[in-house]
Structure 1
């Protein structure tokens, strides 16, 4: 494990913006293949907000976003950028990273590691719905920045209403990378992103929408991410 003396970022500050998500199950569906499947989930931690530009800069010293603002969500990041951030945050808070890279840049994910990671798409949809049954957890105008109200830009996180579990901006503002490969037999290494963004119509901002793209080359100004951790490895703040 990374030594305590190497810590740069205070983990208690990061943990204060994490929400404990209860264990449960979620039924997922793929409109392209018409398949449905159920996933059982253990309790986990999920950040209240998408990763903001100030946090991203603190950890990476990079400012990739098209729409600049400390409390705006970071965007214009690839899936690989997101997992590298997770590893850096883990290292800087003294936790074991979840992702490792071999000489060919193949990425391995350690599901038992205590560090920060991207949520799985099952975790993402389960947390987004927060016990509701529909495709949104509230009235879209009240919970999301989307094409009709965004003025064609991202907005500071946390300005719209949260869901029942206290999580903000799950729909609208920026899409969010998830950890999963979409369909390796058809799309190779393409990864999934969820949630809709500031330039999407109403129909794009649904908890069930699934999109995918290349993990190392695709980045756009309405795509960011939020972080998760395994609940059993939580380090409690004072």
Structure 2
């Protein structure tokens, strides 16, 4: 886990042409997406279509990611961040819990930018696996240069689930995806790009990384 300093990030939605500043407290974020080995160790499952311990787990839904966060918290003796009623499709985030959780969209973009102001934190071929260099396949985590805060694969390789609803008035329960993936063109691998998906869907270019709140 990497310690991320707090700060302010401005989120922009190109579809609605709206921007909003978000102030963030310090938090912890995993240095790379959750790997297949780590996911299997905690859940006993290997859902990915292409197998490899150091490959990011993919083919996981948003609900799968939430369940993993709670399972990992219990495994490490931490208080689970989420109270889940999947039958009712209801979830509550306990902000006082010290367990693992998904990053918010604002936390994700703040960490991705790592103090930089451009669309990317470096040359895309150096920092990301995308359609131009991936051979149209997923790659092991940590294989590209990290951003200035030591975070790998914030762009490219797999899209990452975030906590937030995408636009509940228009898309209902759909959740936010960030970062771009191994099959995406260069324009999708930018710090500000947003994608959406239903929380129950499992997609072969979508994974996640975990965060933790820092006690105040």
Matched position secondary structure for 1:232: coil
- 1:86 and 2:95 equivalent? no
TM-score (norm 1): 0.89
Between the two proteins, the alignment pairs up a number of residues equal to 215
Q: Which residue of 2 aligns with 1:107?
A: 91
- 1:71 and 2:54 equivalent? yes
Question: 2-side partners of 1:231 and 1:48: how far apart?
Answer: 16
Structure 2: gaps of 5 or more residues? none
Q: Deviations over 1:39-62 (max 9, x none)?
A: 000000000010000000000000
- 1:129 and 2:113 equivalent? yes
Q: Deviations over 1:188-226 (max 9, x none)?
A: 11100100000000001001000111001x111110000
Q: Which residue of 1 aligns with 2:3?
A: 20
TM-score (norm 2): 0.98
Displacement of 1:231 after TM fit? 1.6
Question: 2-side partners of 1:30 and 1:128: how far apart?
Answer: 16
Query: Pick from 193, 204, 210: which aligns with 1:209?
Result: 193
Structure 1: gaps of 5 or more residues? 1-17, 234-238
Q: Which residue of 2 aligns with 1:44?
A: 27
Q: Which residue of 1 aligns with 2:168?
A: 184
Question: 1-side partners of 2:147 and 2:104: how far apart?
Answer: 19
Query: Pick from 146, 150, 168: which aligns with 2:130?
Result: 146
Please say which structure displays the higher CA radius of gyration: 1
Q: Which residue of 1 aligns with 2:151?
A: 167
Q: Which residue of 2 aligns with 1:10?
A: none
Runs (4+) of structure 1 moved beyond 3 Å? none
